[in-house]
Structure 1
């Protein structure tokens, strides 16, 4: 969808925000044994750390790697929805364990159980991350992106 580097930055930042915020809320809810209104505010403390990390990983590494992996399953001639789903799935497959590891180090106080806590965190996070990305965050962010891009004039349309 993004056609320029600036659009790619905007799209990635927005997607990272939506995904990270939801996953932080989910993990806090798991830790507190339930969702409450305070979880939505508590999540912003971790967002300050996790959102930039997710953006940098996605923008510079994971996005490119996910496309390489996705095109092992699909071809450029396939329907766009299949390509989109393949790339989105590969992003979740890479980002979920990586971000779960980072969250385990920063927020879980795992001590000597770091590998076990990381694996448990990744296993708990994966179904949520996958469903959230495919069914909610992906469509929402693409809708917002299309809407914003339709409002901003194209360079070819700017007249003096």
Structure 2
């Protein structure tokens, strides 16, 4: 959807912030045994660490790799745009969820000698929520915000995607 590097940076910043905040709230609620207003405030403490990590991973590693994997399933120009968006979004979750779960496990769960087991458990708990957030809520919401911010530029510029 972004057509320039600047737009790509802005899109990734917005998407990483929203996904990370949502996933942190989810994990804190799991740890507390349920949702409360306190969860929303507690999430900001972890967000300071996890947001930059997510941005760096997404922008420099996952973005291109997720497109390559998605384009094994769908073909740009041939398949409908919604299928391309869904394929890329699903691949991003498939790549980001284990990576971010590993970072969260190391930083916040203090797994000791059970690193692999705690990481796999964290990934399994996080994956369904991450996929639902990305496909049904955060993805559409951030694309709407992005289209609103860059409405004029998106209409004028050629696409940088392959």
CA 1:2/1:152 → structure 2, altered by over 3 Å: closer, same or farther? closer
CA 1:22/1:150 → structure 2, altered by over 3 Å: closer, same or farther? same
Secondary structure of the 2:150 match is helix
Q: Is the 8 A contact 2:147 2:154 kept in 1?
A: no
1:11 — aligned with what? 11
- Map residues 61-76 of structure 1 onto 2, 5 A cutoff: 61-76=61-76
**TM-score scaled by length of structure 1:** 0.94
CA 1:41/1:151 → structure 2, altered by over 3 Å: closer, same or farther? farther
The structure, 1 or 2, with the larger RCO (C-alpha pairs under 8 Å, 6+ apart) is 2
1:129 — aligned with what? 130
> How much does 1:149 deviate?
1.0
1:104 — aligned with what? 105
Residue deviations 1:75-134 (CA, integer Å, cap 9, x gap): 111111100000000000000000000000000011111111100000000000000100
CA 1:154/1:73 → structure 2, altered by over 3 Å: closer, same or farther? closer
> How much does 1:23 deviate?
0.2
Question: Quick one: distance in 1 between partners of 2:30 and 2:135?
Answer: 21
CA 1:154/1:75 → structure 2, altered by over 3 Å: closer, same or farther? closer
Secondary structure of the 1:74 match is coil
Structure 2: any 5+ residue segments left out of the alignment? 158-162
Q: Which runs of 4+ in 1 moved over 2 A?
A: 150-156
Corresponding residue pairs, total: 156
Question: Quick one: distance in 1 between partners of 2:153 and 2:61?
Answer: 28
Secondary structure of the 1:89 match is helix
Question: Quick one: distance in 1 between partners of 2:68 and 2:21?
Answer: 27
Question: Quick one: distance in 2 between partners of 1:47 and 1:40?
Answer: 11
1:79 — aligned with what? 80
Question: Quick one: distance in 1 between partners of 2:113 and 2:97?
Answer: 22
Q: Is the 8 A contact 2:17 2:51 kept in 1?
A: yes
